[in-house]
Amino acid sequence: MLILVLGLVLFLGVHSVRIFAEGWRSRTVSSMGPLTWKAVYSVISVIGFVMIIWGYGMARQQPVMVWSPPMGMKHANSLFTLLAFIFLAAAYIPRNHLKAKMHHPMVLGVKLWAFGHLLATGKLADLILFGSFLLWAVLNFRAARQRDRAQGTVYPPGTLTATVLTILVGAVAWAAFAFWLHAALIGIAPMGRTL
């Protein structure tokens, strides 16, 4: 469990700099240069991410049950993750209505993914992993919206074509992950039996 927690501290810590230390971040980027900043940021992120995967995998070998979620929560999680994939697509497809309206759809996608998984799982490692990401997403979304207001950021209006494309790309990515990749990468098949 310690490796999981340390991984979360590294990964979410580096991704929280803009939440808690925007001024320090700006000064550091100016002093070391944007490429060096991105390199250091990326290395810390990758180390943290690998530790999260490793630590979570080790914690799953000796699970500590906190609660037993009802079966309906697993179905609810499927809906939450479908929406999360659509919001993830919205972050990258330009001029869609979701990004125009919500401004930070990827962070909202992380919120939905984490919340859905908290509802559907009941082990201590799940609570730590998904609870940490949910808390980070809530704080990050709030900070990003405050930055937008302070800087007067205006998002371009969405188009119907881009919005339909966003929904299709998100739904296809969700289906691929739910029916095949989740089992292959994580060892749990949400739409079938566990490997």
Structure tokens at 121: 């799982």
The count of C-alpha atoms lying within 13 angstroms of the C-alpha of 96, restricted to the half-sphere facing its C-beta, is 23
pLDDT tens, residue order, the chain (195 aa)? 999 999 999 999 999 999 999 999 999 999 999 999 999 999 999 999 999 999 999 999 999 999 899 988 988 999 999 999 999 999 999 999 999 999 999 999 999 999 999 999 999 999 999 999 999 999 999 999 999 999 999 999 999 999 999 999 999 999 999 999 888 888 888 876 543
Decide if 108 contacts 134 (C-beta within 8 A). no
What is the distance between the alpha carbons of residues 81 and 73, in angstroms, rounded to a whole number?
Answer: 12
CA nearest 102: which of 134, 145, 133, 146?
145
What is the distance between the alpha carbons of residues 42 and 126, in angstroms, rounded to a whole number?
Answer: 25
Q: What is the DSSP letter of 103?
A: S
What is the distance between the alpha carbons of residues 74 and 121, in angstroms, rounded to a whole number?
Answer: 8
Q: Could you tell me the sign of the dihedral formed by the alpha carbons of 148, 154, 159, 162, in that order?
A: negative
The reported pLDDT for the residue numbered 191 is 78
pTM to 2 decimal places: 0.90
The reported pLDDT for the residue numbered 188 is 82
The reported pLDDT for the residue numbered 195 is 38
The count of C-alpha atoms lying within 13 angstroms of the C-alpha of 122, restricted to the half-sphere facing its C-beta, is 9
